[in-house]
Each structure stands twice: as structure tokens, then as C-alpha cells.
């Protein structure tokens, strides 16, 4: 369940983020950067529009159905993109549809992991599942640009298409819905958003924690090349290493939450450490000392450690009949915030410089620390019986 659901989410990540690696080829073939960027953004925009809808379908029908339907419809959308790859308008529309289809794996794969693992192991396994995004992006980054350069855009789109088809076949072969209480139970009718503000506070805090994360993701490479005069090759290697360490950090944070028996306490610790790291990074860049580079790597690790914790806490509190929608809302808020970060932070860097801008982002984890619940209720299993 863990391997295949992670594979499914990685295939979705490749479909959503893969078109970004077509930009050099599209630009070389005469397309403006703005037009190429629109094609690259289309699947991400499509995904943002359907996350909550897919979550509702997960709640009503089940995880297996959504996982297979999402992956199959993604491959259909990508097949359409292959067929119309020479028409840029049609290609943009097809990529939007493929992205909208791919969003179903987010809630479904998360629910499968949370539903089949007991509370004392969920944190670690969700950390493993959260590695799906960097794995999917890595697959896309290693394959799509090379295929596009040597064969063309049409052939490069076959890479995420094949990945999605393989993941759909694996899901159909192995995925089983985790057990849930009957739909007529009292739990199924209780809207967790009306009982208290726990989920809302997690959503808002998670959106705030995305700001330093995407600040580092968006501008680490640029800072190394512009601010430190690193070559593109050397900077790229450090960024790749930092991404790998960040993925491992998610697992470590999840394991810590299993050990202490709480998602909220480690989440608050992560927010506090992220604030301190970003403040120290900003100061180090401002006074131009060598420690800025290891602090940048540390920031790239710490600022992503909250993702799995918040995802697991959301699913556990929402329960088996509402967690699909809750996870959709959680992802939508983070996506919307992440979309705004690069242009806003870029403008701030232009006006204030890297040091001041990076340092100021420390305020957002501190604000998240205030908004997060003090503690959560004990982790409750999403299934009431074994299958």
C-alpha cells in the first residue's frame, strides 16, 4: 500500500511539474518565455481547481476508485497533449485538464497510508509518502529535458504518460480501500469544521509555513549563483543534495511524532526551528559570512519537515468520512500560497536584498506558532476494524 500509493503520487507530481522542464526546448523552438511558462503552469493551475472535489469523491466513493480514476484520466489528458503538441493553445488546455485529473492522487494516496497504518507508525510512513513529490520531480527532471532536446516536445510528454499508466496499473493490481465505519454511523454525519477550529488553524498555519519553504526552494539556486558566484553545475548539485536531505527530514519528523505520540508538538517545534534558521540565515547573508551556505542547506531541510506532520494531523482529526475534503482544502491552501511566493519574494529581494528578505520570512513560522493548536487530541485510528 505504501509503495504503490507513493508511486501514484510521484506520477502525479511528474505530470504536474514535468512541463516546466519543457521550457528550454519550447523557447528554443521560438516560443516566448511567457508562453512557455503558461504551458508549464497549466497543470498546476488545473490541480488547484479540483483538489477539494477529488477529496469529496474520496469521502463518498473510496480511495481505490479515485486513485485509479485520477491516474487513468491523467494519462488521457497527457495523450491529448501529445496529440496536439504542435498547437500551443490546445497544448495548454490539455495540460490544464491533465493537471486537474492528477490532483486526485493527493487525498487518495494520503488516506490509503493513514488508513492502513496504526497511529504509532503513521508519522513515519506519511513522511515516506511525502517523498513522492521530490521523487516525481526528479524523474521528470532527469528524463523530460533530455528526451525533449533530442526528440521533441511530443516525445517528452510520453514520459509522464507512461509513468501515470504504470502507476494506474499498479494501483489496480494492489490497492485495497482501508476499512471504514459504516456510512450511516454518527461519525459520518459530523462536520469536523463545525465542532472546533482545530483543522482551520492547521490549514492557516501550514499555509504560513509554506512561505519560507518556497522562498528557499525558489531562490537558493539563484543566490548561490548570483550572491556567491557559484557555477550552475555546483549550485545544482548542492540544491539536489539539499532536496534529498529535506526528503529524509520529513521521515525523521514523522518518526519523531510517532515516538512522542503527537503531531502537533513536533509541528510546533519545526515552526520554531524554522523561524530561528531563517533569521540566522538572513543575518549571515547580510554580514556575508561563510556559515550562510550551511544555514541555507539547513533551512531547506527544516522548512519542509512540517508537510507530513500537518497532513497526518489533518487526516486523523477529520476522520474517515471527511478527511478527503480536509486534505483537499489543506493542499489547496498550500498551493495558493506557494503560487504567490516567487513573485512577492522576488520583488522583496529586488528592494531589500537577499539577507533582509530571507530574515523577514522568519516572521511567518512565528505567526504559525501562534495559530497552531497547543495540542491535539490523541491520535485516533481511521479504521474501526481489521480487514
Least confident range from 83-87, 163-167, 213-217, 367-371: namely 213-217
Kindly indicate the confidence band of residue 384, based on its pLDDT and cuts at 50, 70 and 90.
very low
Alpha helices in the chain (DSSP H): 2-17, 23-28, 33-60, 63-83, 88-102, 104-116, 119-129, 132-150, 153-156, 158-174, 186-189, 192-195, 198-226, 232-260, 264-287, 292-302, 306-318, 323-352, 354-360, 363-371
At 131 the pLDDT is 83
Domain match, 224 and 164 both: no
Q: Which of 116-120, 151-155, 300-304, 362-366 has the highest mean pLDDT?
A: 362-366
Higher pLDDT, 222 or 107: 107
pLDDT tops 90 at residue 327: no
Cell, residue 332: 489547496
Calculate the alpha carbon distances from 309 to 129, 257, 262, 312 in Å.
Answer: 12, 8, 9, 5
At 379 the pLDDT is 46
Q: For residue 267, tell me if it sits in a domain.
A: yes
Report DSSP state, residue 40: H
Domain match, 331 and 281 both: yes
Higher pLDDT, 34 or 16: 16
At 228 the pLDDT is 86
Domain match, 15 and 126 both: yes
pLDDT tops 90 at residue 134: no
Identify the domain boundary among 144, 178, 212.
178
Cell, residue 56: 469529496
Q: What's 300's domain CATH number?
A: 1.20.1250.20
How far the first Cα of the chain sits from its last, in Å, is: 14
Domain match, 83 and 113 both: yes
Q: For residue 148, tell me if it sits in a domain.
A: yes
Map residue 227 onto helix, strand or coil. Answer: coil
Map residue 178 onto helix, strand or coil. Answer: coil
Q: For residue 383, tell me if it sits in a domain.
A: no
pLDDT tops 60 at residue 185: no
Domain match, 85 and 205 both: no
Kindly indicate the confidence band of residue 346, based on its pLDDT and cuts at 50, 70 and 90.
confident
Q: For residue 186, tell me if it sits in a domain.
A: no
At 375 the pLDDT is 64
- Name the residue range of residue 356's domain: 192-371
d(CA 385, CA 278): 44
Higher pLDDT, 187 or 357: 357
Q: For residue 104, tell me if it sits in a domain.
A: yes
d(CA 210, CA 107): 19
194-218 in b/e burial notation, b at 16+ Cβ within 10 A? Answer: eeeebbebbbbbbbbbbbbbbbbbb
The pTM is what?
0.79
Q: Contact, 220 vs 300, CB < 8 A?
A: yes
Contacts of 184 (CB under 8 A, 6+ apart): none
Domain match, 250 and 325 both: yes
d(CA 39, CA 22): 9
Taking each helix axis from N to C end, the angle separating 363-371 and 198-226, rounded to the nearest 10 degrees, works out to 170
pLDDT in tens, 254-274: 999 999 988 999 999 999 999
Contacts of 313 (CB under 8 A, 6+ apart): 202, 263, 264, 267, 376
Domain match, 274 and 345 both: yes
At 188 the pLDDT is 58
Q: For residue 332, tell me if it sits in a domain.
A: yes
pLDDT in tens, 246-257: 888 888 999 999
- Number of domains making up the chain: 2
At 195 the pLDDT is 83
pLDDT tops 90 at residue 201: yes
Domain match, 141 and 241 both: no
Domain match, 210 and 107 both: no
Kindly indicate the confidence band of residue 162, based on its pLDDT and cuts at 50, 70 and 90.
very high
Q: Contact, 218 vs 341, CB < 8 A?
A: yes
The whole-number average pLDDT for the span 332-340 is: 85
Alpha carbons within 13 A on the beta-carbon side of 255: 7
What region does 322 belong to: left with phi over 0, alpha with psi -120 to 50, or beta?
A: alpha
User: Rg of the chain over CA atoms, in angstroms?
Assistant: 21
What region does 319 belong to: left with phi over 0, alpha with psi -120 to 50, or beta?
A: left
Domain match, 8 and 142 both: yes
Domain match, 206 and 320 both: yes
Work out the percent of the chain whose per-residue pLDDT is above 70. 94
3-state secondary structure 87-149: CHHHHHHHHHHHHHHHCHHHHHHHHHHHHHCCHHHHHHHHHHHCCHHHHHHHHHHHHHHHHHH
The whole-number average pLDDT for the span 25-30 is: 84
The whole-number average pLDDT for the span 160-186 is: 86
Higher pLDDT, 86 or 280: 280
Domain match, 144 and 236 both: no
Q: Contact, 171 vs 67, CB < 8 A?
A: yes
Q: For residue 384, tell me if it sits in a domain.
A: no
Q: For residue 378, tell me if it sits in a domain.
A: no
d(CA 98, CA 36): 17
Amino acid at each position: 500500500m505504501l509503495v504503490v500509493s507513493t508511486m501514484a503520487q510521484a506520477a502525479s507530481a511528474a505530470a504536474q511539474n514535468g512541463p516546466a522542464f519543457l521550457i528550454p526546448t519550447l523557447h528554443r523552438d521560438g516560443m516566448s518565455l511567457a508562453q512557455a511558462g503558461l504551458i508549464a503552469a497549466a497543470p498546476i493551475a488545473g490541480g488547484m481547481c479540483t483538489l477539494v472535489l477529488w477529496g469529496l469523491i474520496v469521502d463518498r466513493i473510496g480511495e481505490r476508485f479515485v486513485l485509479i480514476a485520477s491516474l487513468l484520466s491523467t494519462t488521457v489528458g497527457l495523450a491529448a497533449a501529445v496529440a496536439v503538441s504542435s498547437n500551443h493553445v490546445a497544448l495548454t488546455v490539455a495540460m490544464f485538464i491533465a493537471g486537474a485529473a492528477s490532483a486526485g492522487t493527493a487525498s487518495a494516496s494520503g488516506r490509503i497510508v493513514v488508513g492502513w497504518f496504526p497511529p504509532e507508525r503513521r508519522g513515519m510512513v506519511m513522511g515516506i509518502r511525502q517523498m513522492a513529490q521530490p521523487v516525481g520531480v526528479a524523474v521528470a527532471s532527469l528524463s523530460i529535458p533530455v528526451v525533449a532536446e533530442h526528440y521533441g516536445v511530443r516525445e517528452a510528454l510520453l514520459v509522464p504518460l507512461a509513468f501515470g499508466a504504470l502507476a494506474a496499473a499498479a494501483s489496480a493490481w494492489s490497492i485495497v480501500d482501508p476499512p471504514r465505519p459504516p456510512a450511516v454511523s454518527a461519525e459520518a454525519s459530523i462536520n469536523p469544521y463545525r465542532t472546533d477550529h482545530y483543522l482551520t488553524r492547521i490549514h492557516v498555519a501550514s499555509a504560513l509555513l509554506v512561505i519560507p519553504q518556497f522562498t528557499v526552494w525558489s531562490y537558493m539556486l539563484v543566490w548561490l549563483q548570483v550572491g556567491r558566484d557559484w557555477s550552475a553545475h555546483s549550485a545544482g548539485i548542492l540544491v539536489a543534495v539539499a532536496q534529498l536531505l529535506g526528503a529524509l527530514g520529513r521521515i525523521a519528523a514523522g518518526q519523531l511524532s510517532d515516538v512522542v505520540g503527537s503531531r502537533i508538538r513536533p509541528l510546533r517545534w519545526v515552526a520554531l526551528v524554522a523561524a530561528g534558521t531563517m533569521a540566522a540565515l538572513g543575518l549571515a547573508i547580510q554580514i556575508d559570512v561563510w556559515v550562510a551556505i550551511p544555514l541555507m542547506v539547513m533551512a531547506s531541510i527544516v522548512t519542509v519537515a512540517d508537510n507530513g506532520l500537518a497532513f497526518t494531523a489533518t487526516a486523523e482529526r477529520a476522520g474517515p468520512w471527511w478527511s478527503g475534503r480536509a486534505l483537499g482544502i489543506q493542499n489547496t491552501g498550500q498551493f495558493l500560497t506557494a503560487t504567490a511566493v516567487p513573485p512577492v519574494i522576488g520583488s522583496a529581494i529586488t528592494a531589500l536584498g537577499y539577507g533582509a528578505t530571507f530574515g523577514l520570512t522568519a516572521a511567518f513560522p512565528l505567526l504559525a506558532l501562534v495559530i497552531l493548536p497547543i495540542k491535539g487530541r490523541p491520535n485516533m485510528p481511521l479504521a474501526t476494524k481489521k480487514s
